[in-house]
Structure 1
Amino acid sequence: MNAMSHPFDLAHATMLPPTQVGLRETPDSTLLAQRWEAVHEAAAAVGNLAQLGREPLSREIMGLPERAAVRGGWHYDSVVRGIDDLAAMMEPGLRALLSLTAQGQDTTAAALTLWREFHTARAAIVAILDAA
Structure 2
Amino acid sequence: MSAMSHEFDLSQATMLPPVAASPRLLGDVATLANQWEAVHEAAAAVGHLAQLGREEPSDEVLALPLRAAETGGYTFEAVARGIDDLSAVMQPGLRALLAITAQGKDTTAAALTLWREFHHARAAILSIVETD
Q: TM-score range by the shorter chain?
A: 0.7 to 0.9
Moved over 4 A (4+): none
Name the CA distance, whole Å, in 1 between partners of 2:22 and 2:45: 33
- 1:16-95 pair list within 5 angstroms: 23-27=21-25, 28-95=28-95
Which stretch shows the higher mean deviation, 26-35 or 39-48?
26-35
Q: Unaligned regions of 5+ residues in structure 1, if any?
A: 1-21
Higher relative contact order (CA 8 A, sep 6+): 1
Deviations 1:36-93 (A, max 9, x none): 0000000000000000021111111011000100010111000000000000000000
Name the CA distance, whole Å, in 2 between partners of 1:123 and 1:24: 26
- Aligned twin of 1:111: 111
Question: Shift of the alpha carbon at 1:24?
Answer: 2.6
- RMSD across aligned C-alpha pairs, in angstroms? 1.4
Q: Unaligned regions of 5+ residues in structure 2, if any?
A: 1-19
Deviations 1:18-46 (A, max 9, x none): xxxx8232353100000000000000000
Which stretch shows the higher mean deviation, 52-61 or 122-131?
122-131
- Aligned twin of 2:16: none
> What is the percent sequence identity of the aligned residues?
65
State the one-letter code of the partner of 1:49.
L
- State the secondary structure of the residue aligned to 2:79: helix
Q: How many corresponding residue pairs?
A: 110
Tell me the TM-score normalized by structure 1.
0.80
- State the secondary structure of the residue aligned to 1:29: helix
- State the secondary structure of the residue aligned to 2:122: helix
- 1:120-131 pair list within 5 angstroms: 120-130=120-130
Tell me the TM-score normalized by structure 2.
0.80
